[in-house]
Homo-oligomer: A and B are copies of this chain.
Amino acid sequence: MSSRFLSTLTRAEFTKLLQQFNATPDESIAFSESLDRILAADLTACEDLPAGDRSCMDGYALAAADTFGAGEGNPAYLECRHCIEVNVFPNFSLQPGECAWIPTGGFLPPGADSVVMVEYTHDIGDGTIEVRRSLAPGENLMFRGEDARKGSPLLKRGTRLRVPEMGLLAALGLTQIRVHRRPRVAILSTGDEIVPVEAQPRPGEMRDVNSHAVAAMVMQAGGVVEPLGIVRDDLEALRDALERGLKNSDALLLSGGSSKGTRDHTLDAIAQLPGAQILAHGVAMAPGKPTILARVGAKPILGLPGQVGSAQIVMLVLGQPLVRHLAGDGRAFDESRRSLRRALLTRNVPSSQGREDYLRVRLEETADGLLAHPVMGKSGLLRTLLHSDALLVISAETEGLLEGRPVDVWLI
């Protein structure tokens, strides 16, 4: 088990290891359940969308050539014989010099190539419409196939389905789609001092915060939680729980005591699992240094620090991206997707070179702009977490930041 003695990895190296795990298999689901799910196959458009040229406005469909040179002082006069209904494809053609009333969304009749907004027209009676503007062909139209063209690529495998993508699926009638199955993530707390939330702790004991916080963060990232409860700090009990947890899940997250003895226990228990390989034992970030990564067969085990604050930061930086990656998201580790805000730092912040620091900050909107107040506090406390809105990431190359400096903070 020489791999146990791996040195601490950089955060980038650790992330690369996480990216080597495979996405979950795919399944077929109703598109109405697909928000935030990840496509497991490329999609091709099965029909043209829109199905024909449609109007963007209430107005008159016409041939642009009939309005050339028209203006406020020199209107064109067109004959209006037809009134298009929004739900009926026109069964007539426009002749030169004719126009037809068209509602927003209505389909253009043959012979028309543009729509004039009703505001630029006047119905002077006896079927004659005055048009006080010159139009270009294609004006105020959505063209046939402009959204999607039959047989052409629509959305790529690995795409996260947001509301606009769901709208496209709806418009094309793609009611069943293939997505990656939600990753099932087993969650386990270790520590002889940890009792279930329902219990009254005896002196020396404390309730299990991490299981619940980690579970909520797995759900936020699109995973399904398989709770394994609390396992006492005993090699055999821990190994059995890990084995049981991996059987029914795609990944296992474990948070244990932060003391060195407990961490060694965890490493021993993982090492005893058949096919286990410890990939990383420490990451150069603070908080988060004692984070463990192992592989058992094709499944990852991520060992989180026991301190509640540290565990939540490691979940944000490594755990939630891992869950999204397992769900098939091609951009799971893409840092440019983080929500950032520019703010002014309100005090000097020390930082060590050689590790990435994640500092909690509280934001304050002021007349002078957004201020970022560092929230100092012990990583075992909950209040540090409660009073912060964002994280300031200080790169491993930086040796602290000065008060008054503009910084990009990560909204959490």
Contact = CB atoms under 8 A, between A and B. Distances in A.
Contacts of A201: 51
Contacts of A89: 202-204
A50 B206 contact: yes
A216 B148 CA distance: 22
A215 B32 CA distance: 9
A163 B217 contact: yes
Contacts of A197: 31, 170, 173, 175
A378 B32 CA distance: 25
Contacts of A104: 257-259, 306-307, 380
B105 A167 contact: no
A170 B212 contact: yes
A243 interface: no
Interface string A304-326: 00111000100000000000000
Given A103-B257, A216-B163, A220-B35, A147 B383 contact: yes
A147 B200 CA distance: 18
Counting every copy of the chain, the complex holds 2
A232 to B, nearest CB: 9
Contacts of A192: 85-87
A170 B199 CA distance: 10
A233 B178 CA distance: 35
A166 B207 CA distance: 12
B207 A173 contact: yes
Contacts of A341: 339-341
Interface in A152-191: 163-168, 170-173, 175, 191
Chain A contact residues (Cβ within 8 angstroms of B): what range? Answer: 35 or more
A322 to B, nearest CB: 17
Nearest to A410: B339
A222 to B, nearest CB: 13
Interface stretch (A9-17, A52-60, A278-286): A52-60
Given A51-B206, A107-B203, A170-B209, 10 more contacts: A51-B203, A54-B380, A58-B258, A86-B262, A105-B257, A105-B259, A148-B382, A168-B386, A170-B207, A341-B341
Interface of A: 31-32, 35, 49-52, 54, 56, 58, 85-89, 103-105, 107, 142, 146-148, 163-168, 170-173, 175, 191-193, 197-209, 212-213, 215-217, 219-220, 257-262, 306-308, 312, 336, 339-342, 363, 365, 378-383, 385-386, 411
